[in-house]
Structure 1
């Protein structure tokens, strides 16, 4: 019978109930973290005098053997935490039961989950940094590549490919900031909270927190074991990443059509048809678009599980873990695949330049030029250019403008300072883009500065990620050294 049931119950759990309540199919995700939590707790118990050096050494040796055997070697159990303890008792005898002194599965689970989420978020940050690096490289290469800009998916104003890629990079930069901010709320330690009311044993929560790479213990023990807002926030961050990825992928799908022909996606990231041999389908971009819905769905499921749960621990929370794991892992996988797809994409710059004036794309600049050269109100200029668009005059002459100006302002604009060269300059797409030289604009000079600033921020984010990883790595080394010291002193 289960080591947890043998005191309170006289019979084992029904096999169907065991299958219904077990989380083992998902718990391989938590297995390495559970072992570290066990080790840190044993080290703390030993230092506080609750277990002897001999017992601590036997337990730590048993945990090392369980780690070497792997998750698949664990016995059947309700969850990985019970399975590890059962395997430990089977190896080292009843002394293995001392490991659970001053601890509950509740704080054990909550601690393992935070460690797993932390690991996934750090991996996600690395993947985001790689994607942003690719976007910035494309932008740097295409500062002078003119392309059509769209609103409502209709031609609006000419821009540059650099400007377009920088827009996506900026969104992913905010994703990094969100994740880094969220990480500060993830990286606090519930261990020592026990079932929810802490423990009457004298323990050192600061020590276990430090050995596991956390910033600090999570203070209120009831909140520590029952809260999952950190996971909801983490999956919320992942959902935002996926929404931003989906928008990028949507554009790549559209741009790769024959009607647009703005990009060729790499063969390794596309498929063909089983019946139409000419097809090159953007499958990766389409699946990524769909997976954004999957991740958002996991977020909704997670929130529905948690809503209305009374304090403190409820078994409902076990059902949250698969949604958290799937959301974070799907996001990481999608980021990596999309980065490779974008890195291998070839942009059709000639086609971009060809389409850039379509739909009277320079109309806004022409209106601006009328204002600058003649001093008329912008609304008058807007009316004049709007009338030219209505007539289909996408390449108007000065006489076309004068004719309509007579109706709108009562005077030809050529008599108010408008020169033919002004009109010609306003209708040239590259000239038009160059004039948009303010902060954040599409001009080559503006995007040069934007790329430099984005690179600086990218490097700053990378430094912060490295610092967090170094703290976690240092903690692992400290934990390993503490364990080795105990095992060596046996």
Structure 2
């Protein structure tokens, strides 16, 4: 079995060792990035006089042929292909002969894989940011459709105050806006090319890392070769920002599970985004929403696992760093699928606004409005809180309805009792960023503007 490093050894590597250390089973998805990295590298070698023009052409042709074979599925792996970098170099050498054997001049798999992974992360973070914006757009559209519909807002999963449905939906939209910020910011920070750092110390050959960085579309080249090949901060940070997306999807999923339950009956899932039961004929299950909750835990594990791997590594490269790819690939896949699935779910879900309103219109939901009514009349809030809490307790004890108690109380009276009428309390949230009609209209405009800004950031 021939490897890139077989010249140092008398014996072939053990099959068990190769089976354990090989990464070709998962890093093959880096093939497009490895091809791009190799093209830039071989062109730079030509400009440096390390390859002739004919050799550059031969290698570029071989890289193109290899790229087509990978895309079509014709590419055949060989026993010595321990990773995608080895496999591509082996195939290029088969096609281009001695010119192909020069492809790795001045390059190590250490800087090669770090470059490939940064190219991959740049592309995937941008793509997921676009998907998140698409979900935000759906939340905006559903908020616009919701009009003056309202539902209970909860704290501790207990009814607190009524809020506009639009306000509730946009609460998730603003959380996702922070995710877009983090995705764009993390992408900018990883936009540095390690190519040219070699194994850890650079090279004695006349390489031009700045040129390859520019050709690959990186904003800058590395400043320290040891840091360049050992740095996986960008993977950890990518995992964190993607995991935060997953956490926000999980929170939205939890609301969907609750809203679509028979106990709440606030929404009904479209058949395309629900599943049935193999035993219970009546069931319509929110499996998408439940899975985004579960997968968030899995992705948190990916993040913490990588951090534990990185925490004690000495400079520079160590094979431990091979463990950076599977968690990143898995997290990228699951977040992309989750965002898209929740986008479809939120596009098609039907809201039961009458059930929402009925649940929000319980008189106790306006208790804070009664306290603020007393505050406007000059009573200290803490005293007003005690007064209203006492009335609520008495009504729950069955003495009389809250409306009757408020009407009969000399400090409140019929005018205050009007605050308990259905649909009144939600209209009284007037402060900026609040849940009432006037601030929500302004919020929608700001959210629409934010989406336009973020789309422009990604386009640039």
Alignment TM-score, normalising by the size of structure 1: 0.90
Q: 1 or 2 for the larger relative contact order (CA 8 Å, sep ≥6)?
A: 1
Q: Which of 431, 446, 452 is 2:445 aligned to?
A: 452
1:44–1:204 CA contact under 8 A, matched in 2: yes
Count of aligned pairs? 453
SS at match of 1:29: helix
| Structure 2 counterparts to residues 436-451 of structure 1, below 5 A | 436-451=429-444
| Structure 2 counterparts to residues 423-434 of structure 1, below 5 A | 423-424=417-418, 426-434=419-427
| Structure 2 counterparts to residues 58-457 of structure 1, below 5 A | 58-70=58-70, 72-76=75-79, 77-358=81-362, 360-372=364-376, 374-392=377-395, 395-397=401-403, 400=406, 403=409, 412-413=410-411, 418=412, 420-424=414-418, 426-457=419-450
Partner residue of 1:45?
45
1:264–1:346 CA contact under 8 A, matched in 2: yes
2:363–2:402 CA contact under 8 A, matched in 1: no
Q: Please give the alpha-carbon distance, in whole angstroms, between the structure 1 residues aligned to 2:403 and 2:334.
A: 55
2:407–2:417 CA contact under 8 A, matched in 1: no
1:155–1:359 CA contact under 8 A, matched in 2: no
Q: Please give the alpha-carbon distance, in whole angstroms, between the structure 2 residues aligned to 1:348 and 1:66.
A: 55
How far off its partner does 1:94 sit? 2.1
CA deviation map 1:357-385 (0-9, x unaligned): 2371110111111221x211111211111
Q: Please give the alpha-carbon distance, in whole angstroms, between the structure 2 residues aligned to 1:428 and 1:201.
A: 82
SS at match of 1:375: coil
How far off its partner does 1:399 sit? 5.8
SS at match of 2:24: coil
2:191–2:219 CA contact under 8 A, matched in 1: yes
1:5–1:12 CA contact under 8 A, matched in 2: no
Q: Please give the alpha-carbon distance, in whole angstroms, between the structure 2 residues aligned to 1:266 and 1:308.
A: 49
1:121–1:183 CA contact under 8 A, matched in 2: yes
CA deviation map 1:310-365 (0-9, x unaligned): 00000010122111111111111111111101110000001011111237111011
Q: Please give the alpha-carbon distance, in whole angstroms, between the structure 2 residues aligned to 1:359 and 1:53.
A: 83
How far off its partner does 1:396 sit? 3.0
How far off its partner does 1:430 sit? 2.8
CA deviation map 1:116-137 (0-9, x unaligned): 1111101110110000001111
SS at match of 2:176: helix
Unmatched runs of 5 consecutive residues or more in structure 1: 404-411, 468-490
SS at match of 1:30: helix
1:255–1:261 CA contact under 8 A, matched in 2: yes
How big is the alpha-carbon RMSD for the aligned residues of Structure 1 and Structure 2? Answer: 1.5
How far off its partner does 1:429 sit? 4.6
1:143–1:448 CA contact under 8 A, matched in 2: no
1:145–1:161 CA contact under 8 A, matched in 2: yes
How far off its partner does 1:65 sit? 0.8
Q: Please give the alpha-carbon distance, in whole angstroms, between the structure 1 residues aligned to 2:77 and 2:172.
A: 45
SS at match of 1:350: helix
SS at match of 2:159: strand
The change in CA–CA distance for 1:453 and 1:247 in structure 2 (over 3 A counts) is: same
The change in CA–CA distance for 1:33 and 1:400 in structure 2 (over 3 A counts) is: closer
CA deviation map 1:203-229 (0-9, x unaligned): 221211111111111211111110101
The change in CA–CA distance for 1:399 and 1:319 in structure 2 (over 3 A counts) is: closer
Q: Please give the alpha-carbon distance, in whole angstroms, between the structure 2 residues aligned to 1:143 and 1:197.
A: 62
CA deviation map 1:23-43 (0-9, x unaligned): 000012101100000000011
1:74–1:87 CA contact under 8 A, matched in 2: no
1:264–1:348 CA contact under 8 A, matched in 2: yes
Q: Please give the alpha-carbon distance, in whole angstroms, between the structure 2 residues aligned to 1:5 and 1:103.
A: 14
The change in CA–CA distance for 1:107 and 1:399 in structure 2 (over 3 A counts) is: closer
Partner residue of 1:26?
26
Q: Please give the alpha-carbon distance, in whole angstroms, between the structure 2 residues aligned to 1:330 and 1:192.
A: 33
Partner residue of 1:482?
none
Q: Please give the alpha-carbon distance, in whole angstroms, between the structure 2 residues aligned to 1:343 and 1:244.
A: 17
Q: Please give the alpha-carbon distance, in whole angstroms, between the structure 1 residues aligned to 2:425 and 2:110.
A: 63
SS at match of 1:361: helix
1:74–1:84 CA contact under 8 A, matched in 2: no
